Amino acid sequence: MLTVSGLKTFYGNSQALFGMTLEVRAGEVATLMGRNGMGNTTTVHSIMGIIQSREGDIQYEGQSIRGLSSYAVARRGIGLVPEGRQIFPNLTAHENLVATAANWGNQKTPWTAERIYDLFPGLAERRDSMGNLLSGGEQQMLAVGRALMTNPNLLILDEATEGLAPLIRNEIWKSLEALKNEGLSILVIDKNVKDLARIGDRHHIVEKGRVVWTGNSQELLADEELMHRYLGV
CB 81 within 8 A of CB 74: no
pLDDT of residue 84: 87
Q: How far apart are the C-alpha atoms of 186 and 201, rounded to whole Å?
A: 10
CB 205 within 8 A of CB 211: yes
Q: What is the pLDDT along the chain (233 residues), one digit of tens a residue?
A: 999 999 999 999 999 999 999 999 999 999 999 999 999 999 999 999 999 999 999 999 999 999 999 999 999 999 999 998 889 999 999 999 999 899 999 999 999 999 999 999 999 999 999 999 999 999 999 999 999 999 999 999 999 899 899 999 999 999 999 999 999 999 999 999 999 999 999 999 999 999 999 999 999 999 999 999 999 98
pLDDT of residue 214: 98
Enumerate residues 6+ apart whose C-beta is below 8 A from 143: 81, 82, 85, 86, 87, 160
In sequence order, what E strands does the chain have? 2-11, 14-24, 29-33, 55-60, 63-64, 78-81, 154-158, 185-189, 202-207, 210-215
Domain limits of the chain? Answer: 2-231
Amino acid letter, 129: S
Q: How far apart are the C-alpha atoms of 183 and 142, rounded to whole Å?
A: 21
What is the value of pTM for the model shown?
A: 0.96
Which CATH code is given to the segment(s) 2-231? 3.40.50.300
CB 191 within 8 A of CB 164: no
DSSP letters, 44-65, are HHHHHTSS--SEEEEEETTEE-
pLDDT of residue 100: 86
